[in-house]
Structure 1
Amino acid sequence: MPDEAALWTFDRFESGQTFGTVNIAMDEAKKAEWVTLFGPSDSSRLPGGMIVAAMMEAYIRAIQPRPNGNVHASQALSFTGAPALWNDILAISVSCRDKEERKGRKWVSFGVEASANGQVIMTGTIRSIWAA
């Protein structure tokens, strides 16, 4: 278990709090992993699923250390249609939208926004049941 003083607990989250921007390179290594799972494509555009995978990587990296046992309860995402291409760097910002205790569970809603080349390509909310 990580140092308790540094651990992101429910009590530390505040509505409107930002966790910064994490840059995720959509490089040849990531493309090779994608192709291994889903097969080759002639398109230079990033598949939506790859944008979601990058968003999850940024969300996990932005809020550390985390307690064990969190539950990713839901997510709602909206894609803008702006282009993102392989070899772009996605800038993904993460924030706390709100938090609430309900039926003994600690719910935290996180906002995410992904941009490529200065254009927003996706926005969304991740809802988690926070373990500590």
Structure 2
Amino acid sequence: GSASYMEEEFGHKPTDEEIHTLVMSWYNSQTDAAILSGFAYKGAPVWLSVANQYNYKAAYDLAVQTGGETLPVTFKFGSDEQPEYYTFTQLDELKDFYTKAVGFIQKVLAEGWKKKDKFKLDLYRIE
């Protein structure tokens, strides 16, 4: 069955802790991948790398603090192969983008936590 596959991979019968660690890191990488490439704004894919998240937050915070004086601000969406440049001229529009991006990240994280919690329960239900 599926257990023998795991045994081969570990070279010994894995402990619950080893299975748990393996699955959690897999869930984490799935969550990271979904955050990175799963969001789109007005039809343009938005690459939510940690660096980009930081840049979007900095631009948003600055625009809010200055009442929009730092606008317009242009972000590069899409991919390096197919870049799409988007210029925010209004604070409301930038706020809309930033709120949706943050909401998306929180939703993906929450789904990841749910899956991980469910797995933990399943793991201890086996015996």
User: TM-score, normalized by length of structure 2?
Assistant: 0.29
Which has the larger helix fraction? 2
Q: Which has the higher contact order (CA 8 A, sep 6+)?
A: 1
Give the structure with higher Rg (CA).
2
User: TM-score, normalized by length of structure 1?
Assistant: 0.28
